[in-house]
Chain A
Amino acid sequence: MTSSKIAILDVGHGNCAVVIDRGGTSIIDAGLGGTLLDFLHENKVNQVEYVLISHADTDHIGGLIGLLAADDISVREVYLNPDPVRTSKIWEDLKSVLKEARSKRGTVVKNGLSTTIPGEMNTGDILIRVMAPAPELALSGIGGTLATGARVSAHTLNAVILVLYEGTGIALFPGDLDETGLDELRAEQRDMRAKVLVFPHHGGLPGKDPSAFARLLCELVKPETVVFSIGRGRHQTPRPEVVSAIRSASPGTHIACTQLSDRCAATLPTPIPSHLSSEVALGREKNQCCAGTLVIHPLPSRPTRVDHAAFITIAAPTAVCKEEVGDSSRGRSAKR
């Protein structure tokens, strides 16, 4: 019998999570590169039931193309909101790989990912629930205007996915949700609590006030661990003010970046870290992992909080996640 696990993969700057359950395997965003494929191969997964793409930025579609092109992995159903790329060349790329995947492996793509399409998927012990967008928000379309006067962007319509195990929220995947999308989600008054929050935008700017966004999201989710899926040296994420706001809103929350930010450590550690999970991680080859690929079992998780915190103490002398709350200048100064 397959034991359930949720893996948040270190794919560098990008998002990708795999839910392995006794009823099948599901993927939430596909990242770029081959890490997802390596993970599936190493876990002997050759059939994927559901792929949920939170939003249709070109990098997210690129990762989906990589997954569908793999001829040794069958994907049954793909759900996405495709608007931003529908007239682009990458859409034609997707159509090409899908044409083969559909004829050879029976893959089906569903136009839409919302609280009603498909709404929920039960994969055995795990329930995957789409928390946003609500169908009426999805219908407003990109470029539309809400009753509040806010403009709708692709990130407003970003799908938010909650993974539950035996009724308890285990992990929330908000993709690149923006401020407007979060306001709409709050208005729905749904229970968003989850032990693990994969923070939107990799800890970058979600709108005009990243601190307020971080505080509100943490108040709604009440996470024990916040994950930043980042690539070392890319885009300077997570931003110190975001990390500071999380730590202020949720004291004691464990911060886990998949890779070691150069804000936190100007040089990479020499010894091979022993705290990482055994799963494939993009940063492992060059010793760039901080938490690396995180694997959530019902209990325990790897790396453990204690092991990861010990690693940071040794390897990240200017760690943003250990700064005094309110002092977000140290990391930026160090970078300069």
Chain B
Amino acid sequence: MVIAIQMSFEAVGVIDDDPADAEVVKFQIEETGRRPIMFESGFSSLDDLVNRVRAAKVNGVVCDQRLRIRNYAVFDGAEAVARLFESKIPAVLISKYTQIDLETSIRPLRAKIPVLLPKDEIDPSSLVAALERCESEVRGTVPQSRRPHRTLVRIDDVKGELVDAFVPSWNPNQAIRFPRSIIPNKLRANLKPDDRFFAMVNTDAPTADELFFENFTSAPKVGPEDDIF
């Protein structure tokens, strides 16, 4: 069945180091009536990626997250999608490891990843919707759920290179995990629970998976002397 949905994508690039998974994505793209362009030989660098995607004249890209396993690339899919986003090329990030990688390699780049699609949710409709959303954002139309607002971030726990934190204006009762490397060097040296920062966060995100954090700065420290009345 061909999904008759009008979209501007005639050719869609498929970037996946796993040939079997790439075939599945290829099939789903064909089901949308679009032409899949397979990138089977891998990439030597992010510049190589952008150059070859541009040369292939694809209108969008579907990219897997884990690309290093077979020496297919020296970067993760999150880095690839973010770089394509900067180059104004719509790209959807797909993964079988969404939750695991979100906390480490995806979250730092989430602001430049408009759509993160678990592989078990891929079908022609979801692919088309994801590509259209990426294209719209590349063109500058940012949906409400991805508009960042300056807000407070409270560190709850520090576990090695990972941090648990709360964003009270998003949900005061749900912690979010991200790598401490998101926070600038000079601010994270002695990171500890109850440290507070201001950051740009998309506080209308419906789920924690979609939250991103940018531009951390220190928030004022408070003590008993700082009664607010």
Residue ranges of A at the interface with B (Cβ–Cβ < 8 Å): 32-35, 37-38, 58-59, 61-63, 65-67, 69-71, 89-90, 92-100, 102, 109-111, 280, 282, 284-286
Residues of B within 8 A of A98 (CB): 228
Q: Which 8 A-B residue pairings sit nearest by Cβ, starting from the closest? A: A66-B169, A62-B168, A99-B220, A62-B172, A95-B222, A111-B229, A34-B203, A58-B172
Cβ–Cβ < 8 Å partners of A38 in chain B: 144, 147, 204
Q: Which residue of B144, B169, B171 is within 8 Å of A284 (Cβ)?
A: B144
Kindly state the separation between the CA atoms of A97 and B218 in the bound complex, as whole angstroms. Answer: 11
17 additional contacts, CB 8 Å, given A59-B171, A92-B194? Answer: A33-B169, A33-B203, A62-B168, A62-B170, A63-B169, A69-B149, A89-B166, A89-B194, A92-B222, A96-B220, A98-B228, A99-B228, A100-B219, A102-B228, A282-B144, A284-B144, A285-B143
Q: Using A35-B204, A37-B149, A69-B198 as known contacts, say yes or no to A93 and B154 having CB atoms under 8 A apart.
A: yes
Q: Known interface pairs A34-B203, A92-B194, A93-B154. Does A65 touch B228 (Cβ–Cβ under 8 Å)?
A: no
Nearest chain B residue, comparing its CB with the CB of A31 = B169
Bound Cα distance from A94 to B149, whole angstroms: 16
Residues of B within 8 A of A286 (CB): 206
Binding site for A on B (CB under 8 A): 143-145, 147, 149-152, 154, 166, 168-173, 194, 196, 198, 202-204, 206, 219-222, 226, 228-229
A residues in contact with B147, CB < 8 Å? 34, 38
- 17 example contacts (A-B, Cβ-Cβ < 8 A) are as follows A34-B144, A34-B203, A35-B204, A58-B168, A59-B171, A59-B172, A59-B173, A61-B168, A61-B172, A69-B151, A69-B152, A70-B150, A90-B172, A94-B228, A100-B220, A102-B228, A109-B229
CA distance A109 to B152 in the complex (A): 18
* Most chain A beta-carbon neighbours within 10 Å: one of B194, B204, B206, B219: B204
A93 and B152 form a contact (CB under 8 A):
yes
Known: A61-B172, A90-B172, A95-B222. A70 touches B149 (CB 8 A): yes
Complex-state Cα separation, A128 to B101, whole angstroms = 50
Contacts of B206 in A (CB 8 A): 286
User: Which residue among A34, A89, A97, A286 has the maximum number of chain B CB atoms within 10 Å of its CB?
Assistant: A34
How many inter-chain contacts with C-beta < 8 Å in the A-B complex? 103
With the chains together, A35 CA to B206 CA distance in Å?
12
Q: What chain B residues lie within 8 Å of A59 (beta carbons)?
A: 171-173
> Contact: A96 with B204, CB < 8 Å?
no
Return B217 CB to nearest CB of chain A, in Å: 10
CA distance A49 to B211 in the complex (A): 31
Decide if A90 touches B229 in the complex (CB within 8 Å). Answer: no
Q: Which residues of B contact A61 (CB under 8 A)?
A: 168, 172
B170: chain A residues within 8 A (beta carbon): 32-33, 62, 66
Provide the bound-state CA to CA distance between A34 and B150, in Å: 10
Q: How far is the CA of A110 from the CA of B173 in the complex (A)?
A: 26
Residues from chain B with Cβ under 8 Å of A35 in the complex:
144, 204
Give chain A residues whose Cβ lies under 8 Å from the Cβ of B172: 32, 58-59, 61-62, 90
Q: Is the CB of B144 within 8 A of A99?
A: no
Cβ of A69 and Cβ of B228 under 8 Å apart?
A: no
Most buried by A among B144, B169, B228, B229: B169
Q: Give bound CA distance, A322 to B168, whole Å.
A: 37
Contact flag A65-B229 (CB < 8 Å), given A58-B172, A58-B173, A99-B222: no
